[in-house]
Amino acid sequence: MKIDSTIDAKAMQEIIFWSLTLAGLSDLDSVLRQVLSGARNITRADSGSVYIKEGTGLRFSQTQNDTLSQGLPPGKKLAFASFTVPIDAKSIVGYTVQTGQLLNLPDVGCLPSDAPYSFDTTFDALTGYHTQSMMTVPLKTSQGKIVGALQLINAQDERGQWASFSQDLEPLVLFFANSAAVAIERAQLTRALILRTIKMAELRDPKETGAHANRVGACAVEIFEAYAQRRGLSASEIERTKDILRLAAMLHDVGKIAISDLILKKPGKLTAEEFEAMKQHTVLVDQLFSDSHCEVDSMARDIACFHHERWDGRGYPESRCGEEIPLSARIVALADVFDALSSRRVYKDSWKEEEVLAEIAKQKGSQFDPEIVEAFFGAINSVRSVVGQYPD
Protein backbone atom coordinates (compact mmCIF):
# COMPACT_ATOMS: atom_id res chain seq x y z
CA MET A 1 0.00 0.00 0.00
CA LYS A 2 1.26 3.48 -0.88
CA ILE A 3 0.55 6.88 0.63
CA ASP A 4 -1.21 9.12 -1.87
CA SER A 5 1.03 12.13 -2.05
CA THR A 6 1.77 15.00 -4.42
CA ILE A 7 4.28 17.79 -4.25
CA ASP A 8 1.83 20.61 -3.53
CA ALA A 9 1.97 24.00 -1.82
CA LYS A 10 1.50 22.49 1.65
CA ALA A 11 4.43 20.13 1.13
CA MET A 12 6.65 22.97 -0.03
CA GLN A 13 5.63 24.98 3.03
CA GLU A 14 6.94 22.13 5.17
CA ILE A 15 10.21 22.15 3.26
CA ILE A 16 10.55 25.91 3.79
CA PHE A 17 9.72 25.59 7.49
CA TRP A 18 12.30 22.89 8.17
CA SER A 19 14.94 24.57 6.00
CA LEU A 20 14.50 27.82 7.94
CA THR A 21 14.71 25.86 11.19
CA LEU A 22 18.04 24.39 10.10
CA ALA A 23 19.32 27.79 9.01
CA GLY A 24 18.82 29.09 12.56
CA LEU A 25 20.92 26.38 14.23
CA SER A 26 24.67 26.35 14.87
CA ASP A 27 25.51 23.12 16.69
CA LEU A 28 25.96 19.88 14.78
CA ASP A 29 23.92 17.74 17.18
CA SER A 30 21.00 20.17 17.01
CA VAL A 31 21.18 20.22 13.22
CA LEU A 32 21.17 16.41 13.00
CA ARG A 33 18.16 16.14 15.32
CA GLN A 34 16.17 18.63 13.25
CA VAL A 35 17.27 17.14 9.92
CA LEU A 36 15.88 13.80 11.02
CA SER A 37 12.73 15.29 12.54
CA GLY A 38 12.05 17.28 9.37
CA ALA A 39 12.61 14.36 7.02
CA ARG A 40 10.39 12.08 9.12
CA ASN A 41 7.68 14.74 9.25
CA ILE A 42 7.72 15.22 5.49
CA THR A 43 7.59 11.47 4.78
CA ARG A 44 5.51 10.34 7.80
CA ALA A 45 8.27 7.93 8.77
CA ASP A 46 7.92 6.11 12.09
CA SER A 47 11.66 6.06 12.62
CA GLY A 48 14.94 6.97 11.03
CA SER A 49 18.65 7.60 11.40
CA VAL A 50 21.34 9.95 10.19
CA TYR A 51 24.78 8.73 9.14
CA ILE A 52 27.67 11.18 8.79
CA LYS A 53 30.60 10.56 6.47
CA GLU A 54 33.90 10.30 8.32
CA GLY A 55 36.88 9.25 6.24
CA THR A 56 36.07 5.95 4.53
CA GLY A 57 33.14 5.17 6.82
CA LEU A 58 29.69 6.32 7.88
CA ARG A 59 29.12 7.08 11.56
CA PHE A 60 25.67 6.35 12.98
CA SER A 61 25.06 9.76 14.54
CA GLN A 62 21.36 10.25 15.31
CA THR A 63 18.26 8.09 15.58
CA GLN A 64 14.57 8.51 16.37
CA ASN A 65 11.88 5.84 16.71
CA ASP A 66 8.30 6.67 17.67
CA THR A 67 7.23 3.07 18.21
CA LEU A 68 10.06 2.20 20.60
CA SER A 69 9.75 5.56 22.39
CA GLN A 70 6.10 4.90 23.30
CA GLY A 71 7.06 2.59 26.16
CA LEU A 72 9.45 5.06 27.77
CA PRO A 73 8.55 7.06 30.90
CA PRO A 74 7.74 10.77 30.37
CA GLY A 75 10.87 12.79 29.65
CA LYS A 76 12.96 9.75 28.79
CA LYS A 77 14.34 9.07 25.34
CA LEU A 78 16.08 6.34 23.43
CA ALA A 79 19.78 5.88 24.10
CA PHE A 80 21.95 4.63 21.28
CA ALA A 81 25.53 3.59 20.71
CA SER A 82 27.48 5.12 17.87
CA PHE A 83 29.12 2.82 15.33
CA THR A 84 30.64 3.03 11.87
CA VAL A 85 29.82 1.15 8.67
CA PRO A 86 32.01 1.11 5.55
CA ILE A 87 31.07 3.03 2.44
CA ASP A 88 30.46 0.15 0.09
CA ALA A 89 27.61 -1.56 -1.72
CA LYS A 90 27.13 -4.29 0.90
CA SER A 91 24.90 -2.20 3.16
CA ILE A 92 21.89 -0.16 2.07
CA VAL A 93 23.23 3.10 3.49
CA GLY A 94 26.73 2.39 2.16
CA TYR A 95 25.32 1.80 -1.32
CA THR A 96 23.44 5.10 -1.22
CA VAL A 97 26.54 7.08 -0.31
CA GLN A 98 28.80 5.21 -2.70
CA THR A 99 26.47 5.71 -5.66
CA GLY A 100 24.80 8.98 -4.64
CA GLN A 101 21.42 7.42 -5.44
CA LEU A 102 18.23 7.47 -3.41
CA LEU A 103 16.86 4.01 -2.57
CA ASN A 104 13.13 3.56 -2.02
CA LEU A 105 12.52 0.01 -0.80
CA PRO A 106 8.89 -1.09 -0.18
CA ASP A 107 9.92 -4.09 1.92
CA VAL A 108 13.49 -4.75 3.07
CA GLY A 109 12.50 -8.34 3.73
CA CYS A 110 11.94 -8.87 -0.01
CA LEU A 111 14.92 -7.23 -1.67
CA PRO A 112 15.64 -7.96 -5.36
CA SER A 113 17.76 -11.08 -5.79
CA ASP A 114 20.35 -9.16 -7.79
CA ALA A 115 20.71 -6.34 -5.23
CA PRO A 116 24.35 -5.96 -4.07
CA TYR A 117 23.22 -4.79 -0.63
CA SER A 118 21.40 -6.63 2.15
CA PHE A 119 19.37 -5.63 5.20
CA ASP A 120 20.99 -6.11 8.60
CA THR A 121 18.37 -7.58 10.96
CA THR A 122 20.44 -7.12 14.14
CA PHE A 123 18.54 -4.09 15.44
CA ASP A 124 15.14 -5.65 14.85
CA ALA A 125 16.23 -8.83 16.60
CA LEU A 126 17.51 -6.92 19.65
CA THR A 127 14.53 -4.59 20.05
CA GLY A 128 11.58 -6.50 18.61
CA TYR A 129 11.03 -3.72 16.08
CA HIS A 130 9.88 -4.65 12.57
CA THR A 131 11.49 -2.74 9.71
CA GLN A 132 9.45 -2.88 6.52
CA SER A 133 9.68 0.09 4.14
CA MET A 134 12.85 2.15 3.89
CA MET A 135 13.96 5.25 2.02
CA THR A 136 17.69 5.99 2.11
CA VAL A 137 18.76 9.39 0.83
CA PRO A 138 22.23 10.83 0.18
CA LEU A 139 22.90 14.11 1.96
CA LYS A 140 24.43 15.93 -0.98
CA THR A 141 25.31 19.63 -1.24
CA SER A 142 24.70 21.75 -4.35
CA GLN A 143 28.37 21.18 -5.25
CA GLY A 144 27.78 17.42 -5.26
CA LYS A 145 29.64 16.71 -2.02
CA ILE A 146 28.04 13.90 0.01
CA VAL A 147 28.29 14.50 3.77
CA GLY A 148 26.24 11.49 4.85
CA ALA A 149 22.87 9.84 4.44
CA LEU A 150 19.33 9.82 5.80
CA GLN A 151 17.64 6.48 6.44
CA LEU A 152 13.86 6.75 6.88
CA ILE A 153 11.95 3.69 8.05
CA ASN A 154 8.33 2.59 7.94
CA ALA A 155 6.17 5.18 6.22
CA GLN A 156 2.68 5.45 7.70
CA ASP A 157 -0.63 6.01 5.96
CA GLU A 158 -3.48 8.19 7.23
CA ARG A 159 -4.52 5.46 9.68
CA GLY A 160 -1.01 4.99 11.05
CA GLN A 161 -0.50 1.66 9.29
CA TRP A 162 2.87 0.71 7.81
CA ALA A 163 3.09 1.64 4.13
CA SER A 164 5.67 2.13 1.42
CA PHE A 165 7.15 5.54 0.68
CA SER A 166 5.48 7.18 -2.29
CA GLN A 167 7.69 7.80 -5.30
CA ASP A 168 6.07 11.25 -5.49
CA LEU A 169 7.95 12.14 -2.32
CA GLU A 170 11.39 11.38 -3.73
CA PRO A 171 12.11 14.78 -5.41
CA LEU A 172 10.82 16.55 -2.29
CA VAL A 173 13.05 14.57 0.02
CA LEU A 174 16.07 15.07 -2.24
CA PHE A 175 15.43 18.81 -2.18
CA PHE A 176 15.25 18.82 1.61
CA ALA A 177 18.36 16.62 1.81
CA ASN A 178 20.26 19.29 -0.11
CA SER A 179 19.32 21.95 2.46
CA ALA A 180 20.16 19.50 5.23
CA ALA A 181 23.60 18.75 3.76
CA VAL A 182 24.43 22.47 3.61
CA ALA A 183 23.33 22.94 7.24
CA ILE A 184 25.37 19.92 8.35
CA GLU A 185 28.47 21.13 6.52
CA ARG A 186 28.13 24.57 8.14
CA ALA A 187 27.66 23.05 11.60
CA GLN A 188 30.68 20.78 11.07
CA LEU A 189 32.77 23.86 10.29
CA THR A 190 31.54 25.59 13.46
CA ARG A 191 32.34 22.51 15.55
CA ALA A 192 35.77 22.21 13.90
CA LEU A 193 36.60 25.86 14.67
CA ILE A 194 35.69 25.37 18.33
CA LEU A 195 37.73 22.17 18.52
CA ARG A 196 40.70 23.99 17.02
CA THR A 197 40.38 26.59 19.77
CA ILE A 198 40.29 23.78 22.32
CA LYS A 199 43.30 22.20 20.61
CA MET A 200 45.21 25.40 21.41
CA ALA A 201 44.33 24.90 25.08
CA GLU A 202 45.27 21.21 24.81
CA LEU A 203 48.76 22.18 23.61
CA ARG A 204 49.07 24.05 26.90
CA ASP A 205 47.11 21.69 29.16
CA PRO A 206 47.05 17.97 28.19
CA LYS A 207 43.92 17.45 30.32
CA GLU A 208 41.82 19.75 28.13
CA THR A 209 41.21 17.47 25.16
CA GLY A 210 38.63 17.70 22.41
CA ALA A 211 37.08 14.48 23.71
CA HIS A 212 36.69 16.00 27.18
CA ALA A 213 35.14 19.16 25.74
CA ASN A 214 32.73 17.13 23.59
CA ARG A 215 31.70 14.98 26.56
CA VAL A 216 31.10 17.98 28.81
CA GLY A 217 29.07 19.71 26.08
CA ALA A 218 27.00 16.62 25.32
CA CYS A 219 26.38 15.83 29.01
CA ALA A 220 25.40 19.43 29.71
CA VAL A 221 22.75 19.25 27.00
CA GLU A 222 21.26 16.05 28.45
CA ILE A 223 21.17 17.54 31.95
CA PHE A 224 19.58 20.75 30.68
CA GLU A 225 16.90 18.88 28.75
CA ALA A 226 15.89 16.88 31.83
CA TYR A 227 15.89 20.09 33.91
CA ALA A 228 13.86 22.01 31.31
CA GLN A 229 11.24 19.29 31.02
CA ARG A 230 10.81 19.31 34.80
CA ARG A 231 10.34 23.09 34.61
CA GLY A 232 7.80 22.79 31.79
CA LEU A 233 9.76 24.76 29.20
CA SER A 234 8.42 24.64 25.65
CA ALA A 235 9.95 22.26 23.11
CA SER A 236 11.10 25.18 20.94
CA GLU A 237 12.83 26.91 23.85
CA ILE A 238 14.51 23.68 24.90
CA GLU A 239 15.82 23.02 21.40
CA ARG A 240 17.09 26.58 20.96
CA THR A 241 18.92 26.53 24.30
CA LYS A 242 20.42 23.11 23.62
CA ASP A 243 21.84 24.44 20.36
CA ILE A 244 23.61 27.30 22.16
CA LEU A 245 24.61 25.34 25.27
CA ARG A 246 26.32 22.53 23.35
CA LEU A 247 28.83 24.91 21.76
CA ALA A 248 29.27 27.23 24.74
CA ALA A 249 29.92 24.36 27.17
CA MET A 250 32.77 23.07 25.02
CA LEU A 251 34.66 26.31 25.72
CA HIS A 252 34.38 26.04 29.51
CA ASP A 253 38.14 25.92 30.17
CA VAL A 254 39.46 27.91 27.23
CA GLY A 255 40.82 30.51 29.68
CA LYS A 256 43.59 28.10 30.66
CA ILE A 257 45.57 29.17 27.60
CA ALA A 258 46.59 32.20 29.71
CA ILE A 259 48.03 30.09 32.56
CA SER A 260 51.71 29.23 32.91
CA ASP A 261 52.94 25.85 31.63
CA LEU A 262 54.66 25.30 34.98
CA ILE A 263 51.21 25.09 36.54
CA LEU A 264 49.17 23.57 33.72
CA LYS A 265 51.59 20.70 33.08
CA LYS A 266 52.54 19.97 36.68
CA PRO A 267 51.84 16.22 37.14
CA GLY A 268 51.27 16.40 40.87
CA LYS A 269 49.04 18.35 43.23
CA LEU A 270 49.23 22.15 43.03
CA THR A 271 50.47 24.21 45.95
CA ALA A 272 48.10 26.77 47.47
CA GLU A 273 49.90 29.55 45.58
CA GLU A 274 49.75 27.64 42.29
CA PHE A 275 46.05 26.90 42.77
CA GLU A 276 45.38 30.61 43.28
CA ALA A 277 47.16 31.28 39.98
CA MET A 278 45.13 28.53 38.27
CA LYS A 279 41.91 30.18 39.44
CA GLN A 280 42.76 33.15 37.25
CA HIS A 281 41.68 31.22 34.13
CA THR A 282 38.08 32.06 35.01
CA VAL A 283 38.94 35.78 35.21
CA LEU A 284 41.27 36.06 32.23
CA VAL A 285 38.75 34.38 29.93
CA ASP A 286 36.45 37.38 30.31
CA GLN A 287 38.76 39.25 27.94
CA LEU A 288 38.11 36.68 25.20
CA PHE A 289 34.37 37.38 25.23
CA SER A 290 34.45 41.11 25.98
CA ASP A 291 33.09 41.90 22.52
CA SER A 292 30.34 39.26 22.43
CA HIS A 293 28.10 39.50 19.38
CA CYS A 294 25.87 36.43 19.77
CA GLU A 295 24.16 34.22 22.33
CA VAL A 296 26.85 31.55 22.08
CA ASP A 297 29.51 34.10 23.08
CA SER A 298 27.40 35.36 25.99
CA MET A 299 26.68 31.90 27.34
CA ALA A 300 30.29 30.78 26.78
CA ARG A 301 31.44 33.72 28.90
CA ASP A 302 29.00 32.83 31.71
CA ILE A 303 30.16 29.23 31.69
CA ALA A 304 33.90 29.91 31.42
CA CYS A 305 33.78 32.55 34.17
CA PHE A 306 31.46 30.86 36.66
CA HIS A 307 31.52 27.05 36.27
CA HIS A 308 33.80 26.82 39.33
CA GLU A 309 31.31 28.64 41.55
CA ARG A 310 29.50 26.49 44.13
CA TRP A 311 25.85 26.43 45.13
CA ASP A 312 26.89 27.12 48.76
CA GLY A 313 28.99 30.17 47.80
CA ARG A 314 32.41 28.64 48.48
CA GLY A 315 33.57 28.59 44.86
CA TYR A 316 35.48 31.08 42.73
CA PRO A 317 36.11 33.65 41.26
CA GLU A 318 33.34 35.72 42.93
CA SER A 319 31.96 33.36 45.61
CA ARG A 320 28.50 33.55 44.06
CA CYS A 321 25.87 31.26 45.52
CA GLY A 322 22.57 29.68 44.52
CA GLU A 323 20.79 31.24 41.58
CA GLU A 324 23.30 34.09 41.45
CA ILE A 325 25.28 31.61 39.34
CA PRO A 326 24.05 31.45 35.72
CA LEU A 327 22.04 28.30 35.00
CA SER A 328 24.41 27.28 32.19
CA ALA A 329 27.40 27.46 34.55
CA ARG A 330 25.58 25.41 37.22
CA ILE A 331 24.91 22.71 34.65
CA VAL A 332 28.45 22.65 33.23
CA ALA A 333 29.89 22.61 36.77
CA LEU A 334 28.29 19.21 37.31
CA ALA A 335 29.03 17.90 33.80
CA ASP A 336 32.69 18.92 34.14
CA VAL A 337 33.13 17.23 37.52
CA PHE A 338 31.35 14.10 36.31
CA ASP A 339 33.72 13.76 33.36
CA ALA A 340 36.83 14.72 35.34
CA LEU A 341 36.16 12.08 37.99
CA SER A 342 35.22 9.47 35.37
CA SER A 343 38.38 10.03 33.30
CA ARG A 344 41.95 8.90 33.85
CA ARG A 345 44.54 11.64 34.26
CA VAL A 346 48.32 11.57 34.64
CA TYR A 347 47.87 12.32 38.34
CA LYS A 348 44.93 9.97 39.05
CA ASP A 349 43.05 6.88 37.91
CA SER A 350 39.45 7.11 36.78
CA TRP A 351 36.83 6.55 39.46
CA LYS A 352 34.30 3.77 39.20
CA GLU A 353 30.88 4.96 38.11
CA GLU A 354 29.25 4.13 41.43
CA GLU A 355 31.90 6.24 43.20
CA VAL A 356 31.33 9.17 40.85
CA LEU A 357 27.54 9.03 41.28
CA ALA A 358 27.88 8.76 45.06
CA GLU A 359 30.12 11.84 45.14
CA ILE A 360 27.69 13.88 43.03
CA ALA A 361 24.80 12.86 45.27
CA LYS A 362 26.89 13.80 48.31
CA GLN A 363 27.54 17.29 46.88
CA LYS A 364 23.85 17.99 46.25
CA GLY A 365 23.01 21.32 47.86
CA SER A 366 26.64 22.17 48.61
CA GLN A 367 28.76 22.12 45.48
CA PHE A 368 25.86 21.56 43.07
CA ASP A 369 22.37 22.97 42.54
CA PRO A 370 20.00 20.31 44.00
CA GLU A 371 17.65 20.59 41.03
CA ILE A 372 20.53 20.12 38.58
CA VAL A 373 21.62 17.01 40.48
CA GLU A 374 18.11 15.58 40.22
CA ALA A 375 18.06 16.35 36.48
CA PHE A 376 21.45 14.66 36.10
CA PHE A 377 20.25 11.43 37.70
CA GLY A 378 17.04 11.62 35.66
CA ALA A 379 19.13 11.76 32.48
CA ILE A 380 21.83 9.28 33.53
CA ASN A 381 21.11 6.75 30.76
CA SER A 382 21.37 9.45 28.10
CA VAL A 383 24.55 10.75 29.76
CA ARG A 384 26.10 7.29 29.62
CA SER A 385 25.18 7.03 25.96
CA VAL A 386 26.77 10.32 24.89
CA VAL A 387 29.92 9.73 26.96
CA GLY A 388 30.58 6.56 24.98
CA GLN A 389 30.52 8.52 21.74
CA TYR A 390 33.64 10.55 22.62
CA PRO A 391 36.38 8.25 23.96
CA ASP A 392 39.83 9.65 24.76
Amino acid sitting at position 123: F
Cβ-based neighbours of 292, under 8 Å, separated by 6 or more: 298, 301
Domain 9-186 has CATH 3.90.1200.10: no
Helix or strand holding residue 303 (H, E)? helix 295-306
Give pTM, 2 decimals: 0.81
Residues of the chain with CATH 1.10.3210.10: 205-387
- Return the amino acid letter for 315: G
Q: What topology is assigned to 205-387 in CATH?
A: Hypothetical protein af1432 (1.10.3210)
Tell me which residue of 21, 63, 11 sits closest to 180, measured CA to CA: 21
Q: What is the pLDDT of residues 143-197, one digit of tens each?
A: 899 999 999 999 998 888 999 998 988 999 999 999 999 999 999 999 998 888 8
Give dist(CA 259, CA 168) in Å, integer. 60
Q: Inform me whether the pLDDT recorded for 1 exceeds 90.
A: no
Residues 16-33, mean pLDDT to the nearest whole number: 92
What pLDDT band is residue 5 in, cutting at 50, 70 and 90? Answer: very low
Q: What is the mean pLDDT of the chain?
A: 89
**pLDDT (average), residues 373-382:** 95
pLDDT tops 50 at residue 2:
no
What secondary structure, in 3-state letters, does 185-213 show? HHHHHHHHHHHHHHHHHHHHCCCCCHHHH
Identified catalytic residue from 53, 140, 242, 256: 256
pLDDT tens per residue, range 123-140: 999 999 999 999 999 999
Instruction: Tell me, yes or no, if 348 is annotated catalytic.
Output: no
Q: Which residues pair with 103 in a beta bridge?
A: 136
Q: What is the pLDDT of residue 193?
A: 87
Residues 269/232, Cβ–Cβ less than 8 Å = no
Q: pLDDT band at residue 8, thresholds of 50, 70 and 90?
A: low
- The pLDDT-based confidence of 392 (bands split at 50, 70, 90) is confident
Q: CATH 3.30.450.40 spans which residues of the chain?
A: 9-186
